[in-house]
Structures are given as structure tokens and as C-alpha cells.
Amino acid sequence: MEQIPRHWGDDEEEEQEEEKHEVKPTPLSSPQVKQPPPQNGPTLGEPESVSIAHEANDHDGPSLAKKRKKSKKTQKGPASGGPQAESGFQLLGQSLGPGQSEVRRVLPPWLTNPNVVTVDFEQDQLSVADMPGLDPDTVAKLRAHGIHNLFPVQRQVIPGLLSQGSLFRPSDICVSAPTGSGKTLAYVIPTIQSLKRRLAPSPRVLVVLPVQELASQVFHVFQTYAQGTNLKVKLLTPQRAFEAEQNELVQELWEAPGQFKQLADIVITTPGRLVDHLTRTRGLDWHCLRYLIIDEADRVMENIQYNWLAQLETRVGLDRVRMQPFTVCTAQRNLIPLQKLLFSATLSQNPEYLDSLNLFEPRLFTSVVKPKDILENKSQATISEDAQEFVGQYTTPAELNEALVIVKDPLKKPMILAYLLRKKRVEKAIVFTNSIEHAHYLSLVLKQYGFSVGEMSSQVSAKRGRTMNQFQAGKFTVLVSTDALARGMDLGRVDFVISYDTPKFIRTYIHRVGRTARAGTPGHALTLVEAGKAERKLRHILKEANKTDLPSEEVDEDDLDEKTYQEAMDKATTLLNEEKARVVAINVRNKKKNFKKRK
């Protein structure tokens, strides 16, 4: 059976890649650009005679060089008829002159004129029976699974997808809403309903997600709502044999060699696995693809090194939807448009990122907008041209309670964490760390305190699914994880999220706290941060999400049990050393076996 190499995009070294790939958003007010100190080279905008003076000693005589240097000294700025006065352009690094204004970034209209989604889960729900466009079968299925009301993001996005006409290419849709706000059902329901009448299987929906666990979760949601239909839902991940996946996607016709029968309608996968099938699965036909759904879009597009989107668009053949004059001849042509649906809690406004998506007349649905910018019609909002603020970038639920825990002595962080878990009477908590080593060691320490602890990191990827199921079932009180889990995963009701290691980026923070306060339920997020410089840096990061007034609390060191802590640390260190010794012994045995085989 053919073995396929594992891809970074398919698995979980996200905690190491988060910093590498993070794109910090440019402030949209575009403050004056800071430049490095002047160098020996010519200043941008200098006249040619000034630039040539730098090379005078190499090419000209001494007298000519002196004249040119003297000419250069006479040009010092706008007041003396310098470059700015002659050209009218502002030199980088210079202060603004009279009558000049700062350069402001101009965003595309679809970002500054979004469809605003309310975050009030209690007051702004809609009965599934009242949702326009839903057929009776879909309503019955939603009710059978305990869904009687739709959340705000669902009540706006679902009708928009179901009401699209067939004569014109539909706009692509971007949704930026808090985690746990129902984004998954917002695309599962309309895509399944729109495909019910398809005649023969062919890939019509492709869902791309950043990690395997999230792909598996979305796969089960699609399976649930596709029951009772003829739609075939397939999951493609490196956890399965590649040849088995190929056999589930296409089948070569024995009576017509070289021709293939399509076997899937809805395909859920990760970027790396998608590239494998794009390049190695014969007969897989994407020409009927109707929806390309990118969930956790910002993270998926960071893995663009696979060039998966360009490869997919080539195989889809985007020229099939090239708009033509509407005549009697063209009216009967069955053009199948490809519509892109992007979902994220941290939608980027990076121009490079947006350009790589090749969006067609996109519409933005967002729950982030300042109250002063909202019009009387709550379904629409307009951002003033002067503000040019981007909405929809960082979103958190209204039910989320956030606080900082100030740590004076970083060596006592494990002790403070154990104290908080007991004092807050935590029933289910996720503790995030910045590294695999911290996650493993911290889980060992908490176990010595008597907590039931599960561990999630890339080192234990084979056990991830089982650990997540056990945590959802309540077998673990605490789940210690790296940021591999901080993306879109729904682990049921989690009452506390604790950042043991301070997040380095605002996006990391947003996705961490998004594991609690989901679907309108209250939740708490605590971040342990060292007093002083680290706290100031964190608060500066939080300003990017308008979180300027988070309360802080301190743990009285007199309440900490240092004796119990020392015993727990000693036991954890002993266990860690024993694990390392076992690993060394296994490696030695393997080397001896390999050496004997070579002989």
C-alpha cells in the first residue's frame, strides 16, 4: 500500500508555526512610518546630482567631487528649496509639513461596509420554522437534533446562500464571528439542502480545514445532516490509507478503461492531503465543484506553501463561469459557479492574503463593529471614510469573562495554577502552554496534585481523539494543551480556559479563549502573566482587540502550599527522568538492530 508523507498542514506543529506565520495587522489609521537611521546611500527622492556625489571619489577628479559635495550641502530641506519643495513629495522619516496629512490606508468597500451580525444569543434567535428558504425536511432534521432556534450568524448567512439565483455568479462570502457562534451549521445546512436534487455523485462541496481533528469534527456534522439523502460525504486525512481514500473518491470503469465514476459529493480535508489527491488521484473530477469552504480561513491560508488553491482552481477551470452577454443562445447554458465561503474568528485584512484568495465581489458578515458606527438598521453598518476601520478581525463572545492573573515569581506559576483550579472550583478547564515540553511537564505536576489530567500535543497525536472524547465525557477535569487545540475544536461546555504561558499574539489569545463561552453559555478566561514588562506587553497586544480594561487579580502567596508543591515537583521530575531513560534505552536498542542488519 502506498505510503504518503505527513504534511505540516495536516498535523499539529501549530504551536511552533504560530509565531513563524503570524501576520500582525497593520494599523488602519496608518500612523507615520518609522524608518531606520539614515544610511550612507542617497535619500529617496534626491536629485540625480546629489546621488552621483557618493561615487565621486571613484570616478571623478578631486575638484569635481568637492563641487558636488558642496552642492549637496546646500539642499537641506523644504525651506531651502530641497527635494520635498521641488517635487512636492514627503520624504520618509520627515515630519509633516504645513497642509500635509498622514497617509491613510484605504480598504475595499466590502470590508468597510459589512453585514453586521449581533452577538446577542438570547434576544436575537429565530425559530427554524420561520427561517426563509429552509425546506420541511431540513427543519425536521434540525428539530430532531435538538436545534429549535438558529443563532444570529446562521439566520443571516443561511438565507443568503439559499436565495442565490442561477443566472449570475454569486458573491463570495466571508464570515467573522466569535468561536461557538454556529459557523459550522451556517454552511452545512445550506450546502446539503442545495445538493439534494443532484442526479449523480461528483465533488460539489470541498471543505478545507487546518488540522485533522477539526476536519473529523466537521465530517461528523455533515454526516449527521446528510442522513436520509443520497449525498456521499468523504473525509481525507493522513490517518487513513491513501489508496483506501482513492477507492472512495473514484472508480475506474472496467468497460471503458481510462474513464472514471465519481463517488463523492462532499469532501472534507486538510491542505496537505488535498494536494496529495490533486496530484496523485487519477480521474478525480473537480469541474462540478459548487462550494469551496475554508474554515479557520486565516490559518488554512498560512499553509499556502502547498499552493493548493492555485492547483484546485486550475482543475476546477474557473473559465467555466466567465460572464458572457445574456442572449437566447447563452440562456440555456448550464454554467456552474464556484463560490468561496470563508469562516474565521480572526479574519485578516492583509492585502497579500486577500489577494491570494481571488475573491469575487465578496460580502462580509461580522459581529465586530463599534456601537457608534452602527446605523439604526442593525443589519447594516457603514464605517466612515475618515476612520477606515476594519471590522470583523477579532471577535469574542459577549458571555466571556476575562481577567489577568499577575504572577510576581515565575517559579511559582505551577503552584498558582493548582491554587486557582481549586479555588475557582473548576469542573472542566483547558490549560494552554506555548510548548510541548511545558504541556507534558505541567500535566505531570498537576497529576501529583490529585487532578485528573489529559494531555494534548503533537507528541501524543495518536491518542488525541481518545483524549478529546474522554475530556468531553467528563473523565478529565483538566486538559493541558498546546495551541494545536486552539482552533475551532468544540469540546462541549468548558467553564474555564487558562493560559499558563502568555500568548505572544492576539490571534493566539482569541482562539484560546474561544474554547469557552460557546453557543451563548457563560465562560471564563484567565491569563497568567508576570508582573512588569510582560504584563505591559500583553496589555499592548490586547489593545488590538479593543480589550483595554481587562481586570487583574493576584494570588496571596500566604495561601500557597509550598510543601505540597515541592513534593509534586520532585515526583514529576522523577517521572520525567524515567521517561527520558526509557527513550534513550529504546534508541540504543534500535541502533544495535540497525547495525546488525547492515552486517
pLDDT tens digits for 515-544?
898 877 899 999 999 999 999 999 999 998
Q: Span 129-158, mean pLDDT?
A: 92
Query: How would DSSP label each residue in 528-566?
Result: EEETTHHHHHHHHHHGGGT-----EEE--GGG--HHHHH
- Asked, for residue 395, whether it belongs to a domain, the answer is no
Q: Which helix (H) or strand (E) holds 17?
A: helix 14-21
Q: Is 197 helix (H, G, I), strand (E, B) or coil?
A: coil
Provide the number of structural domains found in the chain. Answer: 2
More confident site: 327 or 5: 327
Q: What is the pTM of this model?
A: 0.71
Check residue 30 and give its pLDDT.
39
Pick the range with the lowest mean pLDDT from 48-57, 73-82, 263-272, 487-496.
48-57
Instruction: Pick the range with the lowest mean pLDDT from 97-106, 190-199, 271-280, 398-407.
Output: 97-106
- In this structure, the answer to whether residues 147 and 220 fall within a common structural domain is yes
Same-domain check for residues 413 and 363: no
Residue 490: name the closest of 210, 288, 217 by CA: 217
Q: Please check whether residue 568 lies inside any domain of the structure.
A: yes
pLDDT at 160: 87
* Co-location of 182 and 263 in the same domain: yes
**Which among 586, 580, 577, 503 is positioned nearest to 545, based on CA atoms?**
503
* DSSP 8-state symbol, 305: G
Q: Which residue has the higher pLDDT, 103 or 141?
A: 141
> Is there a domain that residue 517 lies in?
yes
pLDDT tens sequence across 302-347: 766 568 998 999 999 864 544 455 565 555 455 668 899 999 888 8
In a domain, 296, yes or no: yes
133 and 193 in a single domain? The answer is yes
Q: Choose among 139, 137, 177: nearest CA to 156.
A: 177
Label residues 411-442 b or e (16+ Cβ within 10 Å = b): ebbbbbbbbbbeeeebebbbbbbbebebbbbb
Query: On the CB side of 295, how many CA atoms lie within 13 Å of its CA?
Result: 30
Domain membership flag for residue 86: no
Q: Of the candidates 347, 369, 367, 345, which has an alpha carbon nearest to the alpha carbon of residue 357?
A: 347
Both 283 and 181 in one domain: the answer is yes
Inside any domain, residue 99: no
Residue 109 has pLDDT above 80, yes or no: yes
Average pLDDT over residues 125-134: 88
pLDDT at 128 over 70: yes
Distance CA 421, CA 427 (A): 9
User: Has residue 14 got a pLDDT over 50?
Assistant: no
431 plus 320 within the same structural domain? no
Identify the pLDDT of residue 325.
55
Q: For the segment 414-458, what is each residue's pLDDT rounded down to a tens digit? A: 999 999 999 999 999 999 999 989 999 999 999 999 999 999 876
- Expressed as residue numbers, the domain containing 163 is 114-367
Distance CA 207, CA 184 (A): 11
Query: Do 262 and 175 belong together in one domain?
Result: yes
Per cent of the chain over pLDDT 70 is: 71
Q: Does residue 589 form part of some domain?
A: no
Mean pLDDT of all residues in 101-126: 74
Do residues 234 and 343 both lie within one domain? yes
- Residues 362, 430, single domain; the answer is no
- Region 213-233: mean pLDDT is 95
Q: Judge if 362 and 478 occupy the same domain.
A: no
Buried b (16+ CB within 10 A) or exposed e, 330-354: eeeeeeebbbbbbbbbbbbbeeebb
Domain assignment of residue 109, yes or no: no
Q: What is the pLDDT of residue 73?
A: 46
**Whether 413 and 321 share a structural domain:** no
What does pLDDT average to over the chain? 79
Q: Please indicate, yes or no, whether residues 414 and 483 belong to a single structural domain of this protein.
A: yes
What's the CATH code of the domain at 353?
A: 3.40.50.300
